[in-house]
Chain A
């Protein structure tokens, strides 16, 4: 059963949306339909965070609990709001009293022109709802998606680091049980849909509904976080006729572990699987923390990052290096392929009509294996990589020292698709790591790729840095075995 209404809580008020173009973003909805102008448009592309709002949703892991997530309202479609509580900067004051997240900014002189400020307030609010005493690193991670051009951030960091016992008694805490109850009621509603301006949106609740929806309307556009797709609408003025939202599909939004694999639902946001991956592959976890920013990781998904087949997505090279597989589903039929085999050409994949990505399977590490990941970009936070290198190396002890028994060197930003480096791998396979061998591998890399020059980097820089990263990987692996570990990464330096 499908009901043509999007229902959500606008702070404490139950709101129905009907007859609104589903291409409308949450930001447009707030400013133009609700006349709430506190949430600002800085870029309409999810890069500046001025439009940050917070979504509270039921925590599927902890029954009766809410998760507060900061998101970019400028690149979130209104349909995604169904079943959630939308909190904006206007909702934070309790009568005349500023919220902790607001008062601390005032006390620390953390606003100048004030245009980015509502976004910072909301990111800080979301942080403090789950962490009353955040340290500097946690504050930076929570606020990296909010740009400020005036303050230089020092005062904002100081504000957000102020501990927040009072948050436990804020108006959201006071209404907590009512909110949980209201959202639980919404969860029971039939499958939501939205039609407006002749454009449609539907949010299937399970994989069967999804498969049926796609079989009925094969030209539908899949949307999960929408952090990339929405740019087509806000930047290129595209109109999407039929949107199918994956975020409510139960089977696509889970994470499971077996003895040998981590299985991640294609529509599960990064923030819901980052801890697990960090546990098994610390460097992968660290890299994911540099994908987009908090707001993007709260909605962006693994299926989306692979699915749009961008040559500069950060996860595909990592997954290729790990030998990860993906399960594709079309109308009840499933197949599992290597992530590596998914990409055909620039923005072209093996995905068939009405087929969708169901899950991604990542092998767990075993002895002797190392995963090294390097993200090279102009800016450390929230930047698209010039080069992303992911190296998987398995070394097995033999009589003549350790030999490389498995090697996968995968790169993003070096070709039209995320791709391995066969020539460089061939140099390394079966050999023992040494300075000379690494020099050969670096040289071989030149025959693996002919990178291009663009706004992010020149072809020469891409190749030089890609070669140097092989050297860095070698030095780090060597250092890991040595007594004195050498510092090799500025990003970890504080």
Chain B
């Protein structure tokens, strides 16, 4: 078996000579200037880049307003858990500009819009389960008047006991879905017979998506009792289905159009639907178009976040630090309803190993029901929260044995031919993590910097530095099998231009340009001749959400299949018309070569049209090989794994807890990159987003269950100064995916988010220096300056204790 990466080769030579694509070399900028044919593998600019910078890209709220358009707002619950005794909406109805007020009583069809399991009422049904839950909806003549009107409602509640902590939910067995365990071997016995045992716990905070464009939908009634919806959603087909269901009309009467989102990150996978449904209900009621845009604070209060988790572990390991047995319990705070929590907690369980062989393992996941907003998909989908436990364990083992955490991480990596089966019984194939780590260790100068930092810390009284290298192995596929399918629709017009539709949605990740590059590659035409517009449910039906990093894998393959179908028709046509063999027909340089003759692609398209060849085709793809049996906890849920590693260096202030990330080096395997610039942009963005999750982004609820961090003045996502001054990102060179993905590329959307765990581990490393790396500091996340300072104080106390004991 050929090694995936020739480590020696690219570790010793300079990156440039080996054509490593990095974020610092100029090739990415120059690449786009080569007007490309086909274009797979080139750093084409985002198809909307020129429009983004000119303010010409149209988002839902930018669409010209429709005649008679109304604006929606909803009244919000003031209690975390209460029965609604009465709602007096007379003042709301009488308010200036109000045209219509509806409650759940006015919903003609389904009142529950739960995406997988029931539990999400479109408007409250008799009771409320979190503060901010929509009670009733208003349509008014302006955004401002709608927002003012909803404040006039008089609601009587009968307050019920609210569950507001994971601990309380566990004690009461208050779950949105039943617990689930994945198990291999006898972990208890293995832990007990191991040379060393440790246990610990960690609280991992949630995360607000903070897409810059808030939730928004416009509903426009159509002539046949249907509805056209313009929405900012990662899942247009689900919006279509739910709108049809609440209106009690068939799906074919609802058209959903999704041009682009101003960011999604999972927050618009299921939770964009409610606003579309409410807009549609009001539009149906008033027979006028209705726009529903959430003000930022309402968005932060009424939409779910990344699940906070509270995890704990017991581990047994040998003298070298290799794990022999482990029990991990992950407890997800799901909020009030199931939403996607079953699959999210599953993914936390699947990724409780991260990159490491757990040997005898028992992983239990609880789906705790709390009276907060229902937490939802967020880039990584539970995976990050699962990985945090095992990365903490790596550090804990290292400090216990007095070794460098990197040594412990390496010794526990999955093997290539043995020690390569996960706790859910999937074999880890084509594992290149040891090579990635070795390469990064060299290119980042890890060992020399480790020494330099130790010296720095010995001489610096107030500031301390920390360093950490952490890997990521992330499973690619929806763990719900049926979602792993996609459709596309390709048209060629008589001037040779191409129109491309696919089931995926553009939220900034560059999906459209990547899929266009794939189609361009098939016909060997300039990617600029391919137009991509909205994802529309009447073009490509029954689409899956654009999620799970799968957008390009699925839709790229579907679009390629559509293109191949048309291409074959063109070849057949050429063979028949010009009496040549198929092997004599080539697509090259925007031309179609037929034997000795050459036609421009436009000419040949016209010829084919005249020859009555269909120049339109659908394409379809479903991911092979995957299966998982939840009853036994065994299977192959993932088509393949995306891998990468990061080294981060931080500096902390031991008097204030303030810190800064000074340098980060990343090496990520994206397979054969379809667009290196887009991929590097995804890696950088995911890393910084992950860093925000683990550092400054703190969700705070008060004792009544009210979200206090409900605006950007109190919830701090990374700003420009937080990006490390020295930020080096490289793609593993010459590493095509060994599975047959589209052009052997690998998914990139989510995996690099978890590389930010290196920042958290580096903070702990810096704190650990205070007592000479003798203890592994407990550091819940987000590791705000406050948490860092208290961890510093704990380390100082333990150092003082040790010093006293020594005397």
A interface list, Cβ under 8 A from B: 35-45, 47-48, 50, 88-90, 92-93, 98, 101-103, 105-109, 111-118, 121, 136, 139-140, 143-144, 146-157, 235, 237, 374, 376-384, 386, 454-458, 461, 464-465, 468-469, 471-472, 475, 486-491, 493-494
Contacts and interface: CB of A to CB of B under 8 A. Distances in A.
Interface residues of B, number: 95
Contacts, number: 273
Given A112-B509, A490-B463, A149 B725 contact: no
Contact of A454 (B297, B651, B708): B708
A114 B48 contact: yes
A455 B709 contact: yes
B723 interface: yes
B54 A469 contact: no
A458 B655 contact: no
7 contacts: A42-B213, A42-B296, A109-B49, A109-B681, A148-B212, A155-B23, A386-B785
A379 B213 contact: no
A380 B785 contact: no
Interface in B656-702: 656-660, 662, 677-678, 680-681, 684-689, 696, 698, 700
A455 B687 contact: no
Contact of A468 (B58, B656, B660, B688): B656
B320 to A, nearest CB: 36
Contact of B211 (A90, A109, A113, A468): A113
Interface stretch (B5-13, B143-151, B561-569): B143-151
Contacts of B709: 455
Given A152-B687, A489-B653, A109 B28 contact: yes
Contact of B463 (A380, A464, A487): A487
A39 B325 CA distance: 56
Interface stretch (B124-132, B259-267, B492-500): B259-267
Contacts of B148: 237
A116 B210 CA distance: 12
A486 B460 contact: yes
A378 B50 CA distance: 35
A237 B689 CA distance: 32
B56 A38 contact: yes
B52 to A, nearest CB: 3
Contacts of B722: 153, 379-381
Contacts of A471: 655
B717 A147 contact: yes
B731 interface: no
B34 interface: no
Given A384-B713, A490-B653, 19 more contacts: A40-B213, A44-B295, A103-B53, A107-B29, A113-B211, A113-B213, A113-B263, A116-B262, A118-B55, A136-B725, A151-B688, A152-B689, A154-B723, A378-B716, A381-B720, A381-B721, A488-B463, A490-B659, A493-B463
A109 B46 contact: yes
B711 A235 contact: yes
A144 B144 contact: no
Contact of A374 (B32, B295, B656): B656
Interface in B706-746: 708-709, 711-714, 716-723, 725, 727, 729
B719 A380 contact: yes
B49 A235 contact: no
Contact of A149 (B59, B144, B212): B212
B645 interface: no
B597 to A, nearest CB: 36
Contacts of A93: 54
A438 to B, nearest CB: 12
Contact of B261 (A113, A455, A489): A113
Contact of B720 (A45, A103, A146): A146
Contacts of A36: 55
Contacts of B793: 464
Contacts of A102: 50, 53-54
Question: 5 tightest A-B contacts by CB?
Answer: A38-B55, A113-B508, A115-B262, A114-B52, A152-B688
Contacts of B59: 40, 115
Contacts of A494: 662, 725
B54 A468 contact: no
Contacts of B653: 488-490
